[in-house]
Amino acid sequence: MPTALQDPYAPDGSRLTDATTWHADADYLNKLRRDLLRFAQLQLRDTAAAEDAVQEALAAAWAGEQTFAGQSQHKTWVFGILRHKLIDTLRRKQRTINLSALGDEVEGEEILDSLLFDESGHWAQHSKPQPWPKPETALQQKQFWRLFEACLDNLPEQTGRVFMMREFLGLETGDICDELTVSANHCSVLLYRARLKLRTCLSEKGYGEEDCDGKL
């Protein structure tokens, strides 16, 4: 379980140094709520459940504002609270996960391999990874974020869930495998597929084709 309240990322430019006034700032609150909702929706793919989780996170932030020590950006702190709520929600949902469907998803994606790689295991002609801008450049591009979010939505449901649990909720692979009662190898295959699909999706949507200096 990540310790969200001691978030190591403490960017400058914290908008709110006085945490006790944040809920009186309607503009800040609206934007915060919108961003939290977008994040929750990406994770849960369920608007009603996402709204519940955001509501609970905001209520918890309000009730616990004394514990916000100001060493991290306020928004980052609230996102940390939301992550805990999302982990709870996903854990409840997981009890209903269809494990045979998970297996089918992996089986069906053997096809992905034959599309991306040739018989000798090299990248197929059409799927060769093209150069992308460096992370610090790519992440300043609105085009990147638009395509990235669209591609996240495109991931098959179970694959997407494992990826979200690992990358966004920060769970260890071992914990994810245990909870889903699948083997470590199976888990790492799903994560590999998720990453392959994301990069392939971004490339197919045209990311990285034109200008790798980031002047898109």
Instruction: Give the binding site for another protein (CB under 8 A).
Output: 7, 9, 11, 31, 35-36, 38-39, 42, 73, 75-76, 78-79, 83, 113, 116-117, 120-123, 128-135, 138-142, 144-146, 148-149, 166-170, 173, 188, 191-192, 195-196, 198-199, 202, 208
What are residue 123's DSSP bridge partners?
117
Smallest distance, another protein to C-beta of residue 119, A: 10
- The residues, any chain, with a CB within 8 Å of residue 58's CB and separated by 6 or more, are 32, 33, 36, 78
Amino acid at 122: H
Residue 9 or 96 with smaller CB distance to another protein: 9
Closest distance of CB 199 from another protein, Å: 5
Minimum distance of another protein from residue 2's CB (angstroms) = 9
Nearer to another protein, 49 or 177 (CB): 177
Closest CB to another protein among residues 133, 156: 133
| Closest alpha carbon to 147 in 198, 78, 215 | 198
Residue 20, amino acid = T
Q: Rounded to the nearest whole angstrom, what is the least distance from the CB of residue 197 to another protein in the complex?
A: 11
Q: Rounded CA gap, 44 and 161, in Å?
A: 8
- CB-nearer residue toward another protein: 13 or 66: 13
Please say which residue, 98 or 184, places its beta carbon nearer to another protein.
184
> Nearest distance from residue 72's CB to another protein, in Å?
9
Assess contact for 159 and 153: CB atoms under 8 A.
Answer: no
The torsion defined by the Cα of 181, 94, 199 and 46, in degrees rounded to 10, comes to 170
Take residue 1 and report the two structure tokens written for it. 């379980």
